[in-house]
Amino acid sequence: MTKISRRDFLKGSLAAVAIGSLGMGMAASADEDVVTINMYTMGIGTTTDYKLIEDAINEISRAEIGVEVNWTVLDIGQWFEQYNLILSGSETVDLLVNMGGITTGVNQMAFLELEDLYAEYGQGIAEYLDEDFLQAGYADGHLYGIANQKDFAATTNVTFRQDIIDELGLDVSGVASLEDWTEILAAVHEAYPDMYCFVSNGGSSLNQFDAYNWDKLGDRLGVLLDYGETAEVVNLYESEQYESICRLMREWYEAGYVAKDTATSSENYGDIIKAGKAFCSITTGNPGTADEATTNTGYPMGTIALTEALSTTSNVTTIMWSIPYAAAEPEAAMKFLNLMYTNSEVSDLLNYGIEGTHYQVLEDGTYDYVDGEDGTNNSYHPAMTWIWPNTYIGGDWTTSTIGLGEKMTEFNKNARRSMYQSIRPGQVWLDTEGKRIQAHGGSILAVEDTFYWYGENKEKRQAASISGTGASVAIRRRTCTTGRMRV
């Protein structure tokens, strides 16, 4: 029985419809039928004006690419309950955002292979998304997810109410560790005995440390310690680092700094702070963290990085866009994803809504709520900007970090990278010259911190025979780079 891959099946399908199809950047002809796609995303309960945004986006997308979207929004609290049902194909879905990566969909064979669609209709995305980060969406040699333009690295931060720090005259300039923060919590607890000094972010306080200065490798059971610079996978919960955090959290709890229900609470830390009930939490960090927290809580917020920035595969795959295998309009879905990634008007609509209705443009060019509205009563709240493909091409919110796109690009570039971000199952491994590693039938010799991979070089072929010149590849433990050495 001949096995036909989904990619080969897709190629055939694309060939059947290729004649007369429109490429990106070309307006739809007047007599061409407009294609409708079904898009599913998550949202928050206070945001209700999706239909207005959908209509405004369709005015643009019909003219630009001959596609309009039928947008279904599920409350973020229901998203994970409904996600598997969506993947099952019980509903016709053409475009889908994934929170937490593509593993579940790939394992269920629920996602379409995207490399051909991306090459044909998604090249606008390539102008923004670095090839290294695109590779994170591959599994078994095929592209199944496309990351949104975001922070591809993260620090672990303590994020707090800056107004309380200022009021109490506390100096946080020397804080560089969790232990250093204990003194600050003690001072806040004394001044505000009825306030939670520290709250978790949607559950156990320890879940916020699943990616401290280690690469959690997806499930945080086996991890790479020390910023992913060592190849040894260890049990996180048996490590001295995790034990130290557990003991400190216990000390904070016994001192009354931690909310008593922190192990069972499902509330987001921002909502608790917004209600005036809490002082700080542990969060991920990037150049926009403080301003984002200020927007979401309504209080002036500060943040301090407790670790260096680390980039792992999990950072890149946190939010990815996929086209389900059962999609009725995969070509149109990729065109629309490309439009969201490249069109600033569409980006503003997705991020902030309709100008004059949901936001206004201030004299300095930044955006803010219309008069009489704020985060509590606005019907299209900008708290979900993090799910959209390319927030940075649109306008800046008045409390956001100005020039965040450039700052985030620099942040990503300078972050430390886990060695396992360089190893991608199913992908061709290249040496430092960018050539395919030739070491067939290989064996590995370890010499101190260097591993030599010996095997047959099949690059040279003469007639029907193979001229094996031999090759070895040295893999340096710390950086996971590979170089060729002829023998």
User: What gap in Å lies between CA 441 and CA 472, rounded to an integer?
Assistant: 11
3-state secondary structure of 123: helix
The answer on pLDDT for 465 being more than 50 is no
Q: pLDDT grade, residue 22 (50/70/90)?
A: very low
- Looking at residue 36, the DSSP 8-state letter turns out to be E
Q: What are phi and psi of 408, to 5 degrees?
A: -70, -40
The pLDDT, as a whole number, for residue 422 is 57
Question: Above 90 in pLDDT, residue 268?
Answer: no
Question: What is the C-alpha to C-alpha distance for residues 443 and 446, in angstroms, rounded to an integer?
Answer: 10
Residue-by-residue DSSP string for 222-247: EEBHHHHTS---EEGGGSHHHHHHHH
What are the pLDDT digits (tens) for 385-395? Answer: 889 999 889 99
Q: Could you tell me the pTM of the whole model?
A: 0.67
**Which tokens in the block code for residue 290?**
């403080």
Closest by CA position to 112, among listed 93, 127, 126? 93
Length of the chain measured in residues: 487
Confidence (pLDDT) at 29: 46
Q: Say what the pLDDT of residue 53 is.
A: 95
**What distance in Å separates the CA atoms of residue 480 and residue 474, rounded to the nearest whole number?**
9
Report the alpha-carbon distance of residue 38 to residue 383 in Å, rounded.
23
DSSP 37-55: EEEEEEE-TT---HHHHHH
Q: With bands split at pLDDT 50, 70 and 90, how would you rate the model's confidence at 220?
A: low
Distance of CA 237 to the CA centre of its chain: 25
Q: Does residue 309 contact residue 153 with C-beta atoms inside 8 Å?
A: yes
> Residue 166, class by beta-carbon neighbours within 10 Å (0-12 exposed, 13-18 middle, 19+ buried)?
exposed
Residue 180's φ and ψ, nearest 5 degrees, are: -65, -30
What's the pLDDT tens digit per position in 276-332?
999 999 988 999 999 889 988 989 999 999 999 988 877 788 899 999 999 999 999
Find, among 64, 49, 43, the residue nearest to 341 by Cα: 64
Check pLDDT > 50 for residue 432.
Answer: yes
Which range has highest mean pLDDT (12-26, 235-249, 311-325, 326-340)? 326-340
Lookup result for tokens 């973020």: 76
The residues near 72 (Cβ < 8 Å, ≥ 6 apart) are 38, 39, 40, 41
Q: What's the rounded Cα separation, in Å, for the pair 298 and 369? A: 13
Return the SS3 of 323: coil
d(C-alpha 200, C-alpha 194), whole Å:
17
* 205, 264 contact by CB (below 8 A): no
Which ranges in 324-456 belong to alpha helices (H)?
330-342, 344-352, 404-414
336 versus 398: which is more confidently predicted? 336
N-to-C CA span, the chain: 42
Instruction: Report CA-CA distances (Å) from 44 to 54, 76, 105, 265, 359.
Output: 16, 6, 23, 18, 18
Reading the block at residue 162, the tokens are 């800056």
Comparison of pLDDT for 285 and 58, the residue scoring more: 58
Residues 6+ apart with CB under 8 A from 1: none
Looking from the CA of 63 toward its CB, the CA atoms found within 13 Å total: 7
Q: Is the pLDDT of residue 478 over 60?
A: no
pLDDT: which is higher, 17 or 440: 440
Q: Which helix (H) or strand (E) holds 35?
A: strand 35-43
Secondary structure (3-state) at 482: strand
Q: Cβ(426)–Cβ(140) under 8 Å?
A: yes
